[in-house]
Amino acid sequence: MLSEHSVDHVLLERGEVANSWRCERWDSLCLLTPNWQSRLPGYPYQGADPGGYMTAHELATHISGFAAASQAPVRTHTTVTALRRMEGGYHVLTDRGELRCRSVVLASGAANLPRVPPLRSAVPPEIDCVTPHEYGNPHRLPPGGVLVVGASATGVQLAREIHQSGRPVTLSVGEHVRLPRTYRGRDVLWWMEASGVWNQKYTEIAELERARRLPSPQLVGTPERATLDLNTLRVAGIELVGRLSLIRDGRALFSGGLANQLALADLKMNRLLDTFDAWHRSSSPDLQCGPVERFEPTRPPASQRLTIDLRSGEIRSIVWATGFRPDYRWLEIPVLDNHGELRHDGGAVLGAPGLYAVGLPVLRRRKSTFILGAEDDARDIVAHLVQFLAGAAPLAPTGIIE
Amino acid sequence: MEQLNRVNNGVNVQALLDAREALRQAPEAAEFTWRASCKWKNGTFAQSTVRGFRGLGQEQSHKSEFSFETDHPEVFASEDRGATPVELVLVGLASCLTAGVAAVAQNRGIQLRSVEAKLEGKMNIYGILGVDSNVRNGFDDISVTFHIDADASRQEIEALVAQSQKRSAVYDIVTNPTSVTVEVA
C-alpha cells in the first residue's frame, strides 16, 4: 500500500519473514480462523481446504508467499535495537546499521512476551514453570500433574493436549470468552465477519479498554471443527478450579467465584448469538443456514477445590496461559502508559507524530489482530501516514543498512 | 440516555460514571480505607461501630455513627442479644450484591419493582469446636437466591445478577483470599 502511494519504505524483520510463526508457537498450534479468512491484501487463500485451519508453519509459508508476491522490501535478519526521536523524524538502530526515516510503523505484534502474574515467584522451586513460548508439546513437561493457569484459546488447547498425553490436568479459570466452533452450520468466525461485529470501529465501542483486554476466545482449529468449551474439558476429566488468586506457604488458593465466571461467559456468548440471529433476520433472511441453536450452559464442577498444596507432589508443572504482551524494550520514546501499553488513537501513537502501530487488539476495529483485519487497518494507517508525510519537512538523506 | 431517564431505581449512575472518569486521572484519590471498632460487653456479646473512613484523598465520615450488636444464640449457651458475626458476613454479601443489582439495572435502563435475596451459608461446627482439624472454621458453601421483579427478560435479569457479582467488593472478599494482620497494640 505504501508503494501505491510511492512512499519509499523498508520492512525490518529480525529473522525470516513471519518469524514469530516459525519460532514462537507450540508444535500443534493451528489458526483459530478458517483458511478462507487468512486473506491478505490482493492475496487470498487459494489452497484446497478453505474451511480448514492452517498450522503455524503453513501460515508462515502463506505470509512469505504474500511478501514475495507483493515484492515487499523486507530486510531479514535485521534486529531493531533502538528507536529514537530525532530532528524531523526517527532514528532506527539495528544490529546491521542505522536508518533515519520520517515515519515508523510498529508491526511487531501484541504477543511478543508471555504475561506471567507476579505470584509466579511464590511457586515452590521443585515445580517447573512453563510459558506457551517454552512449551512446545506435552512430552517436554515432567510426568505427573499439570496446573494450567488461564482458559483462553491457549489455555483450553494446551489443557486438552496435556490431558491427552496422560497427565492429570487442573485448569484454573478466570474471565474467559466462550464461543462454539460452528453456529447454525457455519464457522462462528464467518458470523463475526458477515454480521459486521468484527468491523465495528474502535470509536464505536463503549468500553474500549475492556474490549482491548479481552482474552482470546475458547476456540481450536481442528479438521472435525469441534467445539472446545469447558463442558468438553470437564467431561474429558480435566478438573476446573477458579481463578488463581494467591500462592501462600506453598498452597495455591483459587477463587470461589468460578460459577459466576461461567455464567458471565455463557450470557455473553448468548448475547452474541442473539446479535447474529437478529442480523440474519433483518439483513440476510434468504441466506442458507441451519436453525437457531442455543448451547448447554457451562456446568460448574460438582465439588470445587479452593486450595491445592503445591508441595504434595500432585502438581509437577505449571503452564502459564495468562496472556501475552508486546515487547517495547527497544522503544526509546516516552509513548507508553504506566501499564507499559502504547498510548495511541486508532494506531496513531500519541505524542509522536509519524509513529504508528498495527496489529494490536481492537486497534481500529474488532478484527485488528486477525489476519483478515490487517487490510482495512493498514489502508487507514497508510492514508494517515501519507497525509503526515505531505505536511512534514523533508529529511536529510536516509542512513544505510549494510 | 433517554432510557436512563425513564428508569428510576434511586441510583445516581451518572455520578458514579463521572466519578470513575475523575478517579482515572487521580489514582491516589481512589485509595480508600474502611474502618470498624468493636467493644466487648459481656460473654459473646459485643458492640461494633462504624463512622469514619478515608477516601478521595482525605478523611471522610458517615452522617452518623452506625452500631451493630453481635452475640451467639442460646443453642451456643449465649444470651442471643444480636446476630452472629457469620450472619453479618451474609448480610454484608447480600446487601452488596443487592445494591449492585440496583446500580447495574439503572445503568442498563431496567426498572426494578422488587428485589429480594435469600442467603444460606453452610458450616460444619466441628471446625470452630476443634473436633476435627480437617473441617474448616468458615462456610463450606454460600448460596444466594434472588427473586427479582423487573421490566426485563429472564436473560437480562440473570445478566444483572452476574454483573453485580463481578463488581461486588464483598463477593470478592468472600471468594478470594485476603491478607489479614492481627496485632496487640
User: Which pLDDT tens digit goes with each residue over A51-106?
Assistant: 999 999 999 999 999 999 988 899 999 999 999 999 989 999 999 999 999 999 99
* Cβ density class A358-390: b for 16+ within 10 Å, e for less: bbbbbbbbbbbbbbbbbbbbbebbbebbbebbe
* Residue pair A263/A173 in contact by the 8 Å Cβ criterion: no
pLDDT at A399 over 50: no
Assess whether pLDDT exceeds 80 at residue A400.
no
How do beta strands A97-101 and A89-94 pair? antiparallel
Query: Model ipTM?
Result: 0.82
Q: Which of A243, A245, A267 is opposite residue B159, by nearest beta carbon? A: A267
pLDDT in tens, B75-114: 999 999 999 999 999 999 999 999 999 999 999 999 999 9
Q: Is B3's pLDDT higher than 80? A: no
- Per-residue pLDDT tens digits for A204-221: 998 899 999 999 999 999
- pLDDT-based confidence at A393, cuts 50/70/90? low
| Three-state secondary-structure class, residue B48 | strand
Q: Which among B165, B174, B177 has the least Cβ separation from residue A253?
A: B177
Q: What is the mean pLDDT of residues B129-144?
A: 94
CA end-to-end distance (rounded Å), chain A: 25
> Is B171 an interface residue toward A (CB < 8 Å)?
yes
Enumerate residues 230 to 269 of chain A having a beta carbon within 8 A of any beta carbon in chain B: 242-243, 245-246, 248, 253, 255-257, 260, 263-264, 267
Question: Hey, what's the cell of A181?
Answer: 466452533
Can you list the positions of beta strands (E) in A192-235?
A: none
Q: Do A257 and B177 touch (CB under 8 A)?
A: no
Tell me if chain A has a CB within 8 Å of the CB of B30: no
Q: What SS3 state is found at A127?
A: coil
Percent of chain A with pLDDT over 70: 97
Asked if B171's CB is within 8 angstroms of A257's CB, the reply is yes
Distances (CA, A) of B2 to B5, B7, B102, B106, B111: 5, 9, 18, 12, 13
- pLDDT surpasses 60 at A385: yes
The alpha-helical segments, DSSP class H, found in A165-229 are: 188-194, 208-213
B175 touches chain A (CB under 8 A): yes
The chain-wide mean pLDDT, for chain A, equals 93
Separation between Cα atoms, residue A38 and residue B60, nearest integer Å: 57
Banded model confidence at residue B21, pLDDT cuts 50, 70, 90: confident
What is the mean pLDDT of the segment spanning A286-302? 93
CA distance A165 to chain B (A): 32
Contact assignment for A253 to B162 by CB distance below 8 Å: no
Residue B4, pLDDT > 60, answer no
B176 vs A255, A260, A270: nearest CB: A255
Percent of chain B with pLDDT over 70: 97
Q: Using CA atoms, how far apart are residues A174 and A241, in angstroms rounded to an integer?
A: 9
Q: Where are the beta strands (DSSP E) in A213-309?
A: 239-241, 244-248, 251-254, 307-309
Instruction: Copy the grid coordinates of residue B90.
Output: 451474609
The set of cell numbers assigned to A142 is 515432567
Measured at the CA of B135, the angle between CA B128 and CA A245, to 5 degrees, comes to 105
Mean pLDDT of B138-149: 96
Residues of B in Cβ contact (< 8 Å) with A264: 162-163, 166
- Tens of pLDDT, residue by residue over A308-361, are 999 999 999 999 999 999 999 999 999 999 889 999 999 999 999 999 999 999
State which H helix or E strand residue A62 sits in: helix A56-69
Indicate the DSSP class of residue A238. Answer: P
Q: Per residue in A230-269, pLDDT tens? A: 999 999 999 999 999 999 999 999 999 999 999 999 999 9
Interface test with A, best of B145, B175, B181 (most A CBs within 10 A): B175
pTM of the model: 0.90
